[in-house]
């Protein structure tokens, strides 16, 4: 077996094939998705909310992303692993972006990195790509800018739609191999998808993008509380795990675990 490459991803768009992406933040979860045939796994900085207990993705550090990305790479054999560059690790400019991306590639072993921003990040994308690091871009809602933009639908209205199209073209021209469209009206995401020759990866961006990504803890029902409208929950891990923990606690308190069969003599 060999890993999926960015060339396989480009070929999928030419064939008109849709593909799924999931996040993962640890080796075991990643190994499940790898064995299930998920072609691309994103070590998202959503790890901030979904794995590390922060309120937003803003506090996540490059050290944390390096550690989590390395675990996901170790847990997988076939999936293409994309590591997120966290807030503050690329905004200073292309050289800082290259230094940060190099850590994820060399220390963690990811095959590609992702960063947020369209026109504003095109110089960073260009240098990484010229240096041999495939880049997935991310436009529309960019959660690292939550303090400036909040969590609102992006690209509504003529001016915002035109800006989103400019952002999409800018990341493609800079050499990105794919672009995430987050929380963008479906019609606009469809237009971007038709316009670009690189694949679009939608989250809350309708049905017409080339790929779809979900945060794994949302998709499997581990995240507590209310989920965004665009999430489909495929399992209820929170209930499965909670019920198992309660059953274990009852067994211990009631003396029904361990039994003879669980004991050594
Ligand atoms: O960090 C993340 O999980 C992401 C996806 C939602 C695209 O950036
Ligand atoms: Na992210």
Domain extent listing, the chain: 6-234, 236-265
Average pLDDT score over residue span 119-142 = 98
pLDDT in tens, 234-254: 999 999 999 999 999 999 999
User: Of all atoms in ligand 1, which is nearest to the CA of residue 214?
Assistant: 6
Residue 114 labelled as part of a binding site: yes
User: Of all atoms in ligand 1, which is nearest to the CA of residue 57?
Assistant: 1
Q: What is the pLDDT of residue 111?
A: 98
High-pLDDT (> 70) share of the chain, %: 100
ipTM of the complex: 0.99
pLDDT in tens, 164-186: 999 999 999 999 999 999 999 99
Cβ-based neighbours of 145, under 8 Å, separated by 6 or more: 116
Tokens of 161: 């739609």
Cβ-in-10-Å burial (0-12, 13-18, 19+) of 154 comes to: buried
Q: Could you tell me where the DSSP H helices lie in 175-236?
A: 186-195, 216-219
- Which residues sit with their C-beta closer than 6 Å to ligand 1? 23, 42, 44-46, 84, 138, 180, 203, 213, 215
Distance (Å) from CA 203 to ligand 2 centroid = 11
Q: What is the pLDDT of residue 122?
A: 98
Distance (Å) from CA 44 to ligand 1 centroid = 5
Nearest partner of 139 among 91, 108, 171, judged by Cα: 171
pLDDT band at residue 85 under the 50/70/90 scheme: very high
Q: Which of 17, 182, 191, 208 is catalytic?
A: 182
pLDDT band at residue 1 under the 50/70/90 scheme: confident
Say how far apart CA 79 and CA 3 lie, in whole Å. 6
Residue 216 has pLDDT above 90, yes or no: yes
Q: Could you tell me where the DSSP H helices lie in the chain?
A: 6-15, 27-35, 47-50, 62-74, 94-103, 122-130, 146-149, 158-174, 186-195, 216-219, 237-254
**Which CATH architecture describes the domain 6-234?**
Alpha-Beta Barrel (3.20)
Residue 187 has pLDDT above 90, yes or no: yes
Cβ-in-10-Å burial (0-12, 13-18, 19+) of 232 comes to: exposed
């Amino acid at each position: 077996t060999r890993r999926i490459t960015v060339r396989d991803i480009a070929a999928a768009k030419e064939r008109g094939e849709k593909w799924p992406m999931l996040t993962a933040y640890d080796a075991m979860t990643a190994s499940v998705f790898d064995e299930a045939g998920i072609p691309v796994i994103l070590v998202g900085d959503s790890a901030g909310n979904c794995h590390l207990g922060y309120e937003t993705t803003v506090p996540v550090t490059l050290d944390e992303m390096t550690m989590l990305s390395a675990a996901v790479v170790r847990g997988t054999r076939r999936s293409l692993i994309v590591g997120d560059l966290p807030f503050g690790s690329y905004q200073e400019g292309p050289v800082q972006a290259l230094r940060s991306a190099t850590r994820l590639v060399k220390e963690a072993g990811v095959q590609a990195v992702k960063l947020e921003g369209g026109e504003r990040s095109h110089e960073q994308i260009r240098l990484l790509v010229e240096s041999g690091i495939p880049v997935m871009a991310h436009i529309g809602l960019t959660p690292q800018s939550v303090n400036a933009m909040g969590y609102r639908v992006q690209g509504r209205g003529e001016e915002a739609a035109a800006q989103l199209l400019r952002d999409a073209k800018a990341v493609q021209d800079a050499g990105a191999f794919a672009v995430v469209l987050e929380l963008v009206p479906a019609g606009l995401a469809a237009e971007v998808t038709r316009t670009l020759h690189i694949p679009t990866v939608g989250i809350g961006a309708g049905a017409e993008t080339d790929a779809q990504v979900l945060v794994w803890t949302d998709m499997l029902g581990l995240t507590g509380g209310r989920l965004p409208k665009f999430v489909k929950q495929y399992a209820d891990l929170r209930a499965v795990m909670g019920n198992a923990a309660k059953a274990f606690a009852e067994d211990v308190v009631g003396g029904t675990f361990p039994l003879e069969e669980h004991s050594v003599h």
